[in-house]
Chain A
């Protein structure tokens, strides 16, 4: 290949990379262009990160599961990875657009920026030079007959995600991230909309995906479930993906193998197309059970791809290793290498928002909140910001947390309304809490005011209380006189009370 983009690379980086090809061509260490199998399987790879007790979560006391995840997250960009087609597109697209239309002005930078931010959030090393490859297979919803991905030189490698008791695990666990790569999404096959026919929708074809591959550091379905949840939160915090498994903007494949402690690792099976965290957890459990039964009855477990049937809670074979396609990976000749300016990477790093772990630690300490309160706050999109904005209006964190997660969120849940900072404005809730804390109204009246606000009253608490005449009386003489008047007016009632007849 002639490489005109190398010149572009120099212009982009401002550094001389002329010797890049003349010296060692493409093989520089582990990232060179060879067909050595990708190392995300137990047979080749031992967990390198600090791990809790080496054997944990044994099943029936002797079987150790080894689990690794491959997560595809749709990049939240306006346009597709290599074309300026919109990501939500009504008209069908044509295959030529995505192949020759490899023009990236306007399209590439956005996807790449978000993927870099995600990589940095995963504490991964972002390579200044990465390249694209073609992965070949035939399927009707794959218009080009190949998917553009990053097989030989991915965007980033060697990241990690920390799991801790704060995430719901009983111990600390570091899960390594093998790599993060950019790739194109396929179209969608719609089976049996018309009986016996398969319809094709190419709107999704060419949308940018991040494939995030973990190291085989997981040992139970619980760990896997927590990891997916945590990754989801991270993607949303970085705002690089919606991370919705039910909508397909995040998809998860799982590699599972089981072996007896002290013996060699077993053959792995890949579980595909799991579309909720619950099915990830259930499918892993079902697969572990299946493999153990197989080993116990001396039946071999062979490397294969399996699916998960939610209705029966069991996994089933999709294809064996022998019938697995050879993807014939080939460097993509239509695309230049992706060259990143180091300054760009640094700038993106500085733009990273506060990540979930840091945020959790900060708000727990800063506002003296419990773990459950913190989790509830962080569990709702935008609620942490909302909470902090209410606190900034004056009331104490303790009363704000009560009013936000118990009163407000409780009422919203009862009414089946999704939390949003716009239902009750932070200034409104702030005024309400101030009214209660300063004794202008009682907590009971405060709840009535909150109901009105939820029902659409956009005024501050003071205005509502004023109009409704709900203000608490503070003049004791006036109150005494009011009581005495009442008592003299209703003598019979007073007597009844005095008799103990309340």
Chain B
């Protein structure tokens, strides 16, 4: 093993964090509970003790005393009006593929079982600077490959939804449900209030699907918004840092802290680019509307599209019903809802798995057991060291994707698979540019001829946001997604609604919207908007969230 001393890097330059405006707990993330960081931390620790044995969300935990002492310090800061940010003192969990110099960074793989990163991811550094306390590292699918958090060296994570508030005996009688994946542990931890929020990573839906299954908010910002430095790569051109939170405004708060330029990631937007993007997003013209109308109907002037291609035959009736209710909610809030077409949606899944596996086979090439990580004892011959090490270190699903990706990149199939997939990706991106009323701030594309885009005719048919389901159904039973009888190709369909946004790099959020009438499990709706237009996602999501919460209350009452 080599030493990691060479790894120390100069800390990135970050603009000093704005001190929280009023410096009062009432405007912090603690205002909803009327609580303090200390009390919240105690609550989280209690839930960890109670539920983690069932959900298997946290794999490595920070020493409780360490959390407590940090929470106390934070509470003092709040009392003395010197809080670092709105989330000062909040406890967060981080997915196991984020490098932290404290706990292990295993990526849920035997390959990295004892790996301690010599540095901390940029996103986490920014959060720590804002006063966030690390609660621990969270379970995931190995290297982010999976949709149910079952391909994990730490064992599957379990959906906490029906566990909450039940006794041990009751829980044991329940059939375990999937927490979704690959950030299943993160969603489960937030849903069971083991932490204020959690970081996940989203490559093809890994944040949004678990959020939908567990009933929390899952947000994937535009590609390049948050630095990937320190996020162990699965598919570099698709990987994004995502969040799992209880509310949309929490997601917005955390996102604002992390969305910063980082010279350590060349694909991360620079401040200049961020400004350029902000300049292209013309605000919606509300001048002709009366203030009281705008207050009553927050989405006046907003056009929301319903992509027809997402209306699949496989869609459960309950999901369709949910989607319909979502549309009604947006209409009630003043939005114009129109059908739109994203014709290449059905090609997206194939393109995604071609590109993601190709990049994964390349990114995972470095795990050879030489510098860090698992090394096989059976190092009898030169070549054998590699094969033994990788055979023992990687799990089944990872090996399957490495093989697929290796095949995709071989000289005989590169043109047929990789290049075609790249073309489809471009087509999917064009589909989005054609329906959005704002230009793609990066490519400048509006999907069509400029004249067409600028004509009034087009303005009426183009939309600010899209509304779709997140998943075909509610969380499946764990026994249905574990084991060899599962067809891996069928499993890919779990991500069918989330993949297009990943391919196009656009922001997308899964917002809980009521529960399924059939099994009582939560379901989410997905909101997407044009590249760089996170604000629109938040705006629409807040409306959905508010109504969704109302419905849940109705159901429970």
Contact = CB atoms under 8 A, between A and B. Distances in A.
Q: A and B: real partners?
A: yes
Interface of A: 1-8, 11, 18, 21-22, 25-26, 33-35, 85, 89, 91-97, 99-105, 134, 136, 138, 140, 143-146, 200, 202, 326-330, 333-336
Contacts of A4: 223-224, 267-269, 273, 442
Question: Which 4 A-B residue pairings sit nearest by Cβ, starting from the closest?
Answer: A145-B365, A2-B505, A328-B409, A333-B237
26 contacts: A2-B223, A2-B504, A2-B505, A4-B269, A5-B266, A6-B442, A11-B272, A21-B443, A25-B426, A34-B415, A89-B6, A91-B6, A93-B7, A94-B118, A97-B9, A103-B264, A326-B410, A326-B411, A328-B362, A328-B414, A329-B409, A333-B359, A334-B233, A335-B266, A336-B266, A336-B267
A163 to B, nearest CB: 35
B230 interface: yes
B313 interface: no
Interface stretch (B29-37, B325-333, B366-374, B475-483): B366-374
A35 B266 contact: no
Nearest to B229: A100
Per DSSP, are chain B's interface residues mostly helix, strand or loop, or mixed?
Answer: loop
Contacts of A327: 411
Contact of B386 (A138, A333, A336): A138
B454 to A, nearest CB: 15
A94 B2 contact: yes
B442 A7 contact: yes
B414 A2 contact: no
A85 B418 CA distance: 33
B371 A18 contact: no
B3 interface: yes
Contacts of B358: 330
B63 interface: no
A33 B2 contact: no
A134 B362 contact: yes
B371 A143 contact: yes
Given A3-B443, A100-B233, A144-B365, A330 B409 contact: yes
Given A143-B366, A333-B359, A35 B443 contact: no
Contact of A105 (B263, B366, B368, B441): B263
A4 B224 CA distance: 7
B378 interface: no
A35 B416 CA distance: 10
Given A2-B237, A89-B6, A94-B2, A22 B362 contact: no
A92 B264 CA distance: 20
Interface of B: 2-7, 9, 118-119, 222-224, 228-230, 233, 235-237, 263-270, 272-273, 276, 358-359, 361-362, 364-368, 370-371, 386, 406, 409-411, 414-415, 418-419, 422-423, 425-426, 430, 441-445, 504-505, 531
Per DSSP, are chain A's interface residues mostly helix, strand or loop, or mixed?
Answer: loop
Given A7-B276, A35-B415, A334-B266, 14 more contacts: A2-B505, A5-B266, A6-B442, A18-B443, A21-B426, A22-B430, A26-B422, A91-B5, A94-B7, A94-B371, A100-B228, A144-B366, A328-B409, A334-B233
A102 B229 CA distance: 10
Nearest to A202: B2
Contact of A328 (B265, B270, B370, B406): B406
A21 B430 CA distance: 11
Contact of B444 (A11, A18, A145): A18
A97 B372 CA distance: 14
Nearest to A17: B444
B426 to A, nearest CB: 6
B443 A330 contact: no
Nearest to A83: B9
A289 B250 CA distance: 75
Contacts of A145: 362, 364-368
Contact of A35 (B269, B359, B371, B414): B414
A140 B368 contact: yes
Nearest to B2: A92
A328 B410 contact: yes
A3 B222 CA distance: 11
Nearest to A335: B266
Contacts of A21: 426, 443, 445
B419 A103 contact: no
Given A102-B265, A140-B368, A140-B370, A146 B237 contact: no
B6 A136 contact: no
Contact of B6 (A92, A105, A328): A92
Contacts of B235: 333
A85 B229 CA distance: 17
A95 B266 contact: no
Given A35-B414, A89-B6, A136 B365 contact: yes
Nearest to A36: B415
A89 B364 CA distance: 26
A138 B368 CA distance: 8
A105 B270 CA distance: 12
Given A93-B6, A335-B266, A25 B443 contact: no
A97 B264 CA distance: 9
B413 to A, nearest CB: 9
Given A85-B6, A200-B370, A333-B359, A103 B443 contact: no
A182 B324 CA distance: 54
Contacts of B367: 145
Contacts of A138: 365, 368, 386
B366 A91 contact: no
Contacts of A102: 265-267
A97 B6 contact: yes
A93 B3 CA distance: 9
Nearest to B383: A138
B129 to A, nearest CB: 19
B264 A25 contact: no
Contact of B236 (A5, A26, A92, A333): A333
A8 B445 contact: no
A142 to B, nearest CB: 9
A176 B233 CA distance: 40
Nearest to A37: B411
A3 B411 contact: no
Of A3, A92, A96, most buried by chain B (CB within 10 Å of CB) is A96
A171 to B, nearest CB: 39
Contacts of B365: 136, 138, 144-146
Nearest to B7: A94
A186 B155 CA distance: 37
Contacts of B263: 103, 105
Contacts of A85: 6
Contacts of B237: 1-2, 333
B442 A328 contact: no
Given A91-B5, A101-B9, A136-B365, A330 B359 contact: yes
